[in-house]
Chain A
Amino acid sequence: MLRARPGPARDRWLSDYRTLIGDQPAPLRMPPAIGDERLLGGLDLSATLTAGRPVHLPGLLEMAAGRGLILPMAERATAGLAARIGAAWDGPWPGYLIGLDEGASTEEAPPAALMDRMAFRPMLDGIAMAALAPSAFTPEEVTAARARLPDVTVPPDVVDALIATAAALGIPSLRAPLLAVRAARAATALSESDTAGEIEARLATQLVLAWRARQMPEQVEEDTPDDRAQDDPPPPDPDTPPQDSPETDTETPTEADIPPDLLLEAARAVLPPDLLAKLLAGNSRATSQGSTGAGEESVSLRRGRPLASRPGRLGGEARLDLIATLRAAAPWQPLRRRQTGKAGLLIRPDDFRIRRFRRTKESALIFVVDASGSSAMARLAEAKGAVELMLADAYKRREQVGLIAFRGDGAEVILPLTKSLVQAKRRLGGLPGGGGTPLASGLLMGAEMALSARRAGLTPFLAVLTDGRANIGRDGQPGRPQAMEDATAAARALRATGIPAVLIDTANRPQRSAESLSAEMGARYVALPRAGAQELSALVQNVSKDSAP
């Protein structure tokens, strides 16, 4: 999965790749919004009618059997597409996939189901053309290495070390170490050796394991034994910050000639320096993308992304899918001609196929919660309760819910937009509270999440819970006047985006500052001190429905 926007660096990488695979067939390019028919194959209508027998038109996954596929705009791929590709991967298509992730931010990433199957994730963004070194290998060397592959052994201690390293990095999926073992084997073949050793293990760790890291390796020793894994969802432990994944492995690695520290050191060397910060923010990309594009989408007869046509009646909003209708009618023609004695094309109501479209009508409810001061814990608990209540029956509502908290010197995403109750429970375990009130940062982060939701085709709605009394500015510096000015500016910026919002005043007595801020935001103002989770979720749902366009 290549993280790279289109540009010379990416083109260069791809062309180098094509050179390196030598006489192997070049990978096929997959259109980003591919339909099932093109992907999985179907009936070739014209050939079928000409030949008088069914002619199968192979889908892209069949055509690519044994060879590579290139998936551009992988960050836009739906969970459905990822699942179809995954199924073919396990089955008839033992080729490889090069994904091109063109995401603009870390929030935009390919579906997790796809990422789990990927071995490598080279980052090409921000790399200058001149910095791209020419390949260290020639196509002939690659071909020779491929021939050598079956004779390469990866000694058990190397395998064990890779598995222990994956566990220490907090990677739950077992595909990761398996891919690492394969990578080590291929690297060994390329280095004209027949037994994998330390160098290959380090390389595999850096290329396959490091980018999946969910925890810093140092944390392993500090973790306490954990038997909560039996329960699902794991009961959040108020003492544990949410980034502590319950999959954490606490076994000491088995003896191996390669000290596990060595591989951890190798991983650490290539981990991005801000990983720890991201992990602390509970923002591990590995789990945050699960719900993108999944599940509840409304099927529309008029607009949206095209879906397979279905049998149906004409009339009302329905539009005829002429090609599909002809296709449905085609096989019956000889029968009907014989029955009716008529010539020409005979179409019956049974044949009608109706166009359908998938339209994302989902709304994105984003809570922005003031977690500063003394009442922070209570407010956060209410917001959390409301989030879980909303997600509990997300299957019938069309909603995604996210949660942002601000306190101290900034704002953080506690729960990225999701509709999974499991995920929410996992992340909302222990919520930090207290400190100053960086209201502006909270509003801006809320706006950012709302805008990215809108780009993803959702209808965002913000619910801000605060008393409106900012005392930390955008730059994280204390000072009430500056902080209020920043908050007002942020509120105006929010209004300019046109994102509907409600401001829930959580102070004991309604605050003038909160009311004027909501006016600046163009938001509804509701004074609701000590709202329970139930009232909160009901209120937000009602208000967001009213303000839907």
Chain B
Amino acid sequence: MAHAFPFSAIVGQEEMKRALMITAIDPSIGGVLAFGDRGTGKSTAVRALAGLLPEIAVVDGCPYNCAPDRINPDCPHCKAQDHHTVAQRPTPVIDLPLGATEDRVVGALDLERALTKGEKAFEPGLLARAHRGFLYIDEVNLLEDYLVDLLLDVAASGENVVEREGLSVRHPARFVLVGSGNPEEGELRPQLLDRFGLSVEIASPKVVADRIEVIRRRDAYERDRAAFLATWAEAEAAEQARITTARDLLPEVIVPDALLVHVAELCLALGADGLRGELTLMRAARALAALDGAREVTDHHLREVAPSALRHRLRRDPLDEAGSTTRVTRAMDTVLA
């Protein structure tokens, strides 16, 4: 992952980049769904994020990414030790491949120890590794149903529970879910759709100059990675600093009551299902304010994030010709007028 394409070198795709940064600032927003044409750099952006995220402090050697100040009392690794040393680790960005088995996702019996020592031990899966980080699913609309069920359950409870013949393990698994896909491959289940806090629509750049820039940078990166990464190192550091600063600022950002009224009115006007829409919209606007260095959330922030936060929550009306983005914009014009 150390050699991923730099986040700051991505041309355009502002909505996608902003959505990823917003979830990096406030992970409780739940995730980002990126839908769009092929060859538009969806996975590139997600993989680039891995290089951008600040490191996290963990208990050294803990495969469950326990935070030193909040160790899970049931953590199979940490409870076996009296003394914990602290280590810095890159924020995990874990790929969930389509062909992954259930065992690989939730974790399973540690084969090596079972076979060689006859010991019963749990080998953590992808969910454990993604704790406190990001879980990325490319082509998310092709994911097998049983894996979707499993993810929905874990995402709702923030905990992964494995029970099997005396193997009883529960560990926290809180992660930002990032999915990408092409809408032409099929629709997503509404329950899963709802789990993604933000959704973005990606198209390839319209302007030839932008397209040229994309290809030039990509080509330069492929020809000489080290040199390309060095060129962008400064910009990357600046982006990373923005995330760190925004995270520190986030608890202090004020959400005025008038803004909450607007949030509620907007969701009501659009018939966005459930309170999750309102909560996500408020949190996303707050995180964006923090990213901008503002101490108070304004209608401007709301306006910026509303399409991402709401467009996938609208009830489908196939006979309404307007796209969901247009519907959100229309509602905003009425509510925020």
Contacts and interface: CB of A to CB of B under 8 A. Distances in A.
A332 B114 contact: yes
Contacts of A234: 323
A299 B149 CA distance: 15
A48 B115 contact: yes
B223 to A, nearest CB: 8
Most A CB contacts (10 A, CB to CB) among B101, B120, B215 go to B215
29 contacts: A36-B101, A40-B97, A52-B116, A53-B116, A80-B142, A83-B98, A83-B142, A87-B97, A113-B182, A116-B38, A159-B216, A166-B211, A167-B211, A172-B39, A174-B204, A174-B205, A175-B38, A178-B218, A247-B204, A251-B208, A252-B208, A294-B141, A295-B141, A296-B186, A334-B114, A385-B318, A420-B185, A420-B186, A533-B319
Interface in B55-104: 95, 97-99, 101-102
Nearest to A387: B318
A391 B319 CA distance: 11
A54 interface: yes
Nearest to B209: A254
Given A173-B39, A295-B187, A334-B115, A235 B204 contact: no
B122 to A, nearest CB: 12
B224 to A, nearest CB: 10
A488 B41 CA distance: 52
Contacts of A469: none
Contacts of B184: 112, 287, 290-291, 418, 420, 422-423
Contact of A52 (B39, B115, B120): B115
Chain A interface main SS type: helix
B316 to A, nearest CB: 5
A229 interface: yes
A247 B203 contact: yes
A173 B204 contact: yes
Contacts of A311: 102
B329 to A, nearest CB: 9
A343 interface: no
Interface in A433-470: none
B320 to A, nearest CB: 9
B28 interface: no
B112 interface: yes
Contacts of A395: 186-190
B201 A299 contact: no
A335 interface: yes
A295 B185 contact: yes
Interface in B289-327: 316, 318-319, 321-326
Contact of B316 (A287, A393, A419): A393
A296 B211 CA distance: 35
Nearest to B108: A331
Contacts of B215: 159, 163, 174, 177-178, 181
A252 B209 CA distance: 10
Given A80-B142, A156-B216, A54 B325 contact: no
A310 B115 contact: no
B208 A253 contact: yes
Most A CB contacts (10 A, CB to CB) among B35, B116, B206 go to B206
A253 B325 CA distance: 30
B182 to A, nearest CB: 7
Given A40-B99, A251-B208, A332-B165, A173 B40 contact: yes
B208 A350 contact: no
A164 interface: yes
Contacts of B146: 310
A249 interface: yes
Interface in B161-216: 164-165, 182-190, 201, 203-209, 211-212, 214-216
A388 interface: yes
A113 B207 contact: no
A48 B111 contact: yes
B114 A299 contact: no
A308 B101 contact: yes
Contact of A163 (B182, B203, B212): B212
A232 B325 contact: yes
A229 B319 contact: no
The 4 lowest CB-CB distance pairs between A and B, nearest first, are A173-B39, A290-B184, A295-B186, A231-B323
A338 B204 contact: no
B257 interface: no
Contact of B99 (A43, A84, A178): A84
Interface in A76-124: 79-80, 83-84, 86-87, 90-91, 112-113, 116
A156 to B, nearest CB: 7
Given A39-B99, A418-B184, 11 more contacts: A48-B111, A49-B115, A54-B112, A163-B211, A163-B215, A174-B40, A181-B219, A233-B323, A249-B207, A295-B187, A331-B111
A431 interface: no
Nearest to A251: B208
A231 B325 contact: yes
Nearest to B138: A87
A526 interface: no
Nearest to B201: A232
B323 A294 contact: no
Contacts of A230: 325
Contact of A334 (B118, B142, B208, B322): B118
Contacts of A543: none
A421 interface: yes
Nearest to B41: A174
Nearest to A173: B39
Most A CB contacts (10 A, CB to CB) among B43, B115, B322 go to B115
A54 B103 CA distance: 15
B326 A231 contact: yes
Nearest to B192: A395
A154 B218 CA distance: 13
A229 B102 contact: no
A177 B212 CA distance: 9
A350 B165 contact: yes
Interface string A285-310: 00100110011100100000000101
Contact of B203 (A43, A172, A251, A533): A172
Contact of A420 (B116, B138, B187): B187
Interface string A323-364: 000000001101100100000000010100000000000000
A335 B118 contact: yes
Contacts of B185: 79, 113, 290-291, 294-295, 420
Contacts of A253: 208
Contacts of A112: 38, 182, 184
Given A53-B116, A287-B184, A172 B37 contact: yes
A327 to B, nearest CB: 11
